A = this chain, B = another copy of it.
Amino acid sequence: MKNKVRALYIGKFQPFHKGHLECIKKILNEVDELIIAVGSAQYSHTLENPFTAGERMDMIRLALEENSIDAKKFWIVAIPDVGTHSIWVAHLKSLCPSFSIVYTNNSLVKILFEENGFKVREIPLFDRKKFSATEVRRRIISNEPWEELVPPSVAKFIKDIKGDQRLRELFKKDIV
């Protein structure tokens, strides 16, 4: 383990899309192993967070297998929010295998890890406007084609669990 470089990449993956996939591919060119941390793990069944942590873990593994990414190169872990930023890094560390580098473009995450002595690297962008989870959810709700934004295996998974239907029903709020 001493010689392996292990990094952390944290996201909400609501849902996992092609932009996430590209990031992971690029990061895996720079490090030996990647911990993919599914953040805000306790939230689901809302417009912003429609999928459970478990469903998101299923999506990520399907997409990485579909892209022939070696399962030995990544971990998928769920990290519930704790509400208190000052303890979040200690909380996350206790739930993850050890790592030395953090990839993020979020300034809060950057500040918190840097205050705890971690190296933080920027994630290379990948057509962010188009490939965003917000856009995927917007398209699902308004019945526009959304499948092209996510890996094919993820599109299939979302339909299998009726996740698209769940999101559209949540949007209605009141049935009648």
Residues of A within 8 A of B (CB): 1-2, 41-46, 52-55, 57-58, 61-62, 65, 70-72, 75-78, 80, 83-87, 89-91, 93-98, 105-108, 110-112, 122, 125, 157, 160, 166, 169-170, 172-176
Contact = CB atoms under 8 A, between A and B. Distances in A.
A107 B53 contact: no
A169 B111 contact: yes
How many copies of the polypeptide does the oligomer hold? Answer: 6
B42 A83 contact: yes
Contacts of A83: 42
A105 B174 contact: yes
B107 A169 contact: yes
A75 B52 contact: no
